[in-house]
Amino acid sequence: MYARRLAVCLGSVATLVVAGGAQAAWRDGGEVYDKVCRYCHEANVGPVLKGRALPTEYIQRVVRMGNRAMPAFRPSEIDDATLADVARRVSGSAAVAQE
Amino acid sequence: MVSKSKVLPKGISAAEFDKAVRELRAIVGDEHVLVDEEKLAPYRKIMMPVSEAQHELSASVMPDGVEQIQRVMKVANKYRVPVYPISTGKNLGYGSAAPVQRGQIVMDLRRMNRIIEVDAELCTALVEPGVTYQQLYDYLQEHKLPLWFSCPAPSAIAGPVGNMVDRGVGYTPYGEHFMFSCGMEVVLADGQVLRTGMGAMENSNTWQVFKWGYGPTLDGIFTQSNFGVVTKMGMWLMPAPPDFRPFCIQYPNETDITKIVEALRPLRIAMVIPNAVVIAHTLWEAPCTPVKRADYHTGPGAISDEAVKKIQADHNIGAWNVYAGLYGTKETNDANWKIIEAVAAGTGGKIITQEASKGSKALEYRFDLMKGKPNLGEFGLYNWRGGGGSIWFAPVSQAKGAETLKQMQMAKTILAKYGFDYVGEFIVGWRDMHHVIDLLYDRSKPEEMEKAYACYDELLHTFAKEGYGMYRANTAFAEKVAATYGPVKRDVEKRLKKALDPNNIIAPGRCGISL
């Protein structure tokens, strides 16, 4: 029973998927915020950043240096240009609704 | 001129280092070699109770593929400069992205982030070191593949290769990550590329399906070691079950750990509960809830048992909180659910179902991890004391109740002696426990840093005396932990090192291995 259901469940996609090709890159700073920062900064782990008009230089510096409980992020993870975009977006964003 | 008053690899002159850096730049491009102190800042961030200077790197080099790594190896051999490979570099509490020894060049493989292949029929993947769990998750979602992977708590920013080579764990039925890896590609110190298992054969299509190959199976020697640079890894993925039923069982007393473990062991060994179960202590749950330590304890010393009881009452947290799941069809899960209910009732545990968990941060992130959905909810741990100090003290235990209670009490007593709290959980294998304790301290206070170092040292040696060893350890304690496993093992490791890396250029000092 279990095996049959699983087979049905997988049947529609049971094709070989070859990914390969180019290295993945961030679409923009918004994607970085959603896929990295937000997991802490809108989840009671790190402080909320949006709506505080934090200086972009400060944001970039904290990301590169890390800050106490917060880990640092390397240029190989988030390149300078994308990080600048993250900082611009966070700095200029409206406040998120408080949970 | 790059090396004015710079950190240099051990025994290398500034002039020689400059020459090596120039050759590395020619291989990977100027922008992929960092030497400026400011640019290297992200690699310097550590949570260990030692100074940054002890793990300061001299440079970072970021190759984009195997061929570049082979050429980097040539340069490293020529100048005898050690390189310290990292994948995603998020080994928080174990040394992060900083090298094991001062002066090493970090070889940062984060740019190599291709998902090379996912086979939906065989449920396998082949990935490069820079792939993160988030990236793999997005890929599976985008292609509508009902496949799950297992990930550790820093999932969104960590990745399968780096985690597996340090033999990390996750929380699904595939939670023992090295066990569910299949096939590796390794660049050796001499530049040769080794594929393990069936990957060694030309035209083979079974690299990701049969682990052992022919003759000695070598994968294990490339985990927690420095015998090569892992550049590709195969992994088995779990078919998403038609019905997933996560749950938590809470227990009121610290001593309940004995009966919890006795009740769970048969269910794990018989695979009624198939996943890597977690038994988390109150103080692991509290900061992820989140609860503030300062609201319950101020002043010096460890938090009192009374305060811990109060946290349990105020926030509906058990003394122990068991997280597990049933994975199957509705029918199989209904049948097994009856067993879970009977076990909970028989042991005095309170079941919290997914429906009843709504609104609890601590439960939600656990339930997500048990189906391999990335999040960073557990980083709440680092706010318990704050200040960026955390090292994992992680002894292995038998899955026997009396053993777990003994280890818990030993750890708690030693931690309290130094003013630290017992923040621990047991990650349940079939027959083993990874007893994972977060030694949390305020790294901005030098006196706490010193105490944390001394505390880990005492924990390590007291546990070793009782025959308990670490499954994994931070880079500052690599040498001391290796010493607890005795001289013969270390001698064999050294002989292997000499044979595979005679110039000692790959991460000397990692897990205590060096020439």
CB within 8 A of B392, min separation 6: which ones?
B93, B94, B436, B437, B438, B439, B472, B473, B474
Q: How many angstroms away from the CA of A83 is the closest CA of chain B?
A: 13
Give the whole-angstrom CA distance, residue B463 versus residue B484.
10
Give the whole-angstrom CA distance, residue B237 versus residue B119.
9
Q: Is B63 left (phi over 0), alpha (psi -120 to 50) or beta?
A: beta
Neighbours of A17 (CB within 10 A): 18
In our burial notation (b when 16+ CB lie closer than 10 A, e otherwise), range B177-212 reads: bbebbbbbbbbbbebebbbbbbbeeeeeeebbbebe
Partner-chain contact B117 A10, CB within 8 Å: no
- The CA–CA distances, whole Å, from A33 to A20, A28, A38, A83 equal 26, 9, 6, 10
Is-catalytic flag, B456?
no
pLDDT per residue as tens, chain B (515 positions): 454 568 999 999 999 999 999 999 999 999 999 999 999 999 999 999 999 999 999 999 999 999 999 999 999 999 999 999 999 999 999 999 999 999 999 999 999 999 999 999 999 999 999 999 999 999 999 999 999 999 999 999 999 999 999 999 999 999 999 999 999 999 999 999 999 999 999 999 999 999 999 999 999 999 999 999 999 999 999 999 999 999 999 999 999 999 999 999 999 999 999 999 999 999 999 999 999 999 999 989 999 999 999 999 999 999 999 999 999 999 999 999 999 999 999 999 999 999 999 889 999 999 999 999 999 999 999 999 999 999 999 999 999 999 999 999 999 999 999 999 999 999 999 999 999 999 999 999 999 999 999 999 999 999 999 999 999 999 999 999 999 999 999 999 999 999 999 999 999 999 999 99
A3 vs B: CB within 8 A: no
Q: How many angstroms away from the CA of B355 is the closest CA of chain A?
A: 20
Partner-chain contact B39 A75, CB within 8 Å: yes
Neighbours of A90 (CB within 10 A): 22
CB within 8 A of B456, min separation 6: which ones?
B49, B391, B393, B439, B477
In chain A, whose CA is at the least distance from the CA of B129? A23
Most B CBs within 10 Å: which of A23, A33, A63, as the mutation test of the B interface?
A23
B237 vs A: CB within 8 A: no
Give the whole-angstrom CA distance, residue B321 versus residue B257.
10
Give the neighbor-by-neighbor strand order of the sheet with B83-86. B33-34, B59-61, B105-108, B83-86
Closest CA to B158 of B430, B378, B352: B378
Q: Annotated catalytic residue: which of B94, B133, B174, B251?
A: B94
Q: What is the pLDDT of residues B284-338, one digit of tens each?
A: 999 999 999 999 999 899 999 999 999 999 999 999 999 999 999 999 999 999 9
Q: Tokens for B347?
A: 């042991």
Closest CA to B421 of B443, B440, B395, B446: B440
B116 vs A: CB within 8 A: yes
Q: What is the dihedral of CA B293, B295, B301, B306, to 10 degrees?
A: -100
Nearest to B242 among A5, A45, A68 (CB): A5
Burial class of residue B58 (count of CB atoms within 10 Å of its CB; 0-12, 13-18, 19+): buried
Count Cβ–Cβ pairs < 8 Å, chain A vs chain B: 142
Nearest to A14 among B120, B375, B377 (CB): B120
Nearest to B444 among A6, A16, A68 (CB): A68
Nearest to A66 among B42, B144, B146 (CB): B42
A36: which chain B residues are within 8 Å (Cβ-Cβ)?
134, 156-157
In which element (H, E) is residue B141 found?
helix B133-142
In our burial notation (b when 16+ CB lie closer than 10 A, e otherwise), range B230-255 reads: bbbbbbbbbbbbbebbbbbbbbeebe
Partner-chain contact B120 A76, CB within 8 Å: no
Residue A92 has pLDDT above 80, yes or no: yes
Give the whole-angstrom CA distance, residue B61 versus residue B159.
19
For chain B, positions 192-231, list CB contacts with chain A under 8 A: none
- The CA–CA distances, whole Å, from B120 to A11, B160, B167, B207, B301 equal 9, 18, 25, 15, 53
Is the CB of residue B329 less than 8 Å from the CB of residue B261?
no
Is-catalytic flag, B443?
no
Give the whole-angstrom CA distance, residue B8 versus residue B18.
10
Q: Is B359 left (phi over 0), alpha (psi -120 to 50) or beta?
A: left
A72: which chain B residues are within 8 Å (Cβ-Cβ)?
41-45, 96-97
SS (H, E, C) A69-85: CECCCCCCCCCHHHHHH
Neighbours of A59 (CB within 10 A): 20
For chain B, positions 128-187, list CB contacts with chain A under 8 A: 130-131, 134-135, 138-139, 143-146, 156-157
For residue B477, what pLDDT is reported? 98
Q: Tokens for B147?
A: 């496949």
Give the whole-angstrom CA distance, residue B110 versus residue B88.
5
Q: Annotated catalytic residue: which of B245, B293, B472, B510?
A: B472
Burial class of residue B294 (count of CB atoms within 10 Å of its CB; 0-12, 13-18, 19+): exposed
Is the CB of residue B231 less than 8 Å from the CB of residue B128?
yes
Give the whole-angstrom CA distance, residue A98 versus residue A94.
12
Residue type, B435: H
Closest CA to B135 of B161, B98, B96: B161
B331: which chain A residues are within 8 Å (Cβ-Cβ)?
1
B117 vs A: CB within 8 A: yes
| N residues, chain A | 99
Q: B455 by DSSP, 3-state: which?
A: helix
Per DSSP, what are the bridge partners of residue B389?
Answer: B441
Neighbours of A92 (CB within 10 A): 12
Residue type, B512: G
Q: Annotated catalytic residue: which of B79, B174, B327, B471?
A: B471
Give the whole-angstrom CA distance, residue B93 versus residue A92.
33
Partner-chain contact B388 A66, CB within 8 Å: yes
Is-catalytic flag, B214?
no
Q: Could you say which DSSP state residue B318 is in?
A: -
In which element (H, E) is residue B493 found?
helix B487-500
For chain A, positions 8-47, list CB contacts with chain B under 8 A: 9-10, 13-24, 35-36, 39-40, 43-46
Q: Could you say which DSSP state residue B300 is in?
A: S
Burial class of residue B123 (count of CB atoms within 10 Å of its CB; 0-12, 13-18, 19+): buried
B65 vs A: CB within 8 A: no
Using pLDDT thresholds of 50, 70 and 90, give the confidence band for residue A3: very low
Partner-chain contact B156 A14, CB within 8 Å: no
Per DSSP, what are the bridge partners of residue B426?
Answer: B279, B435
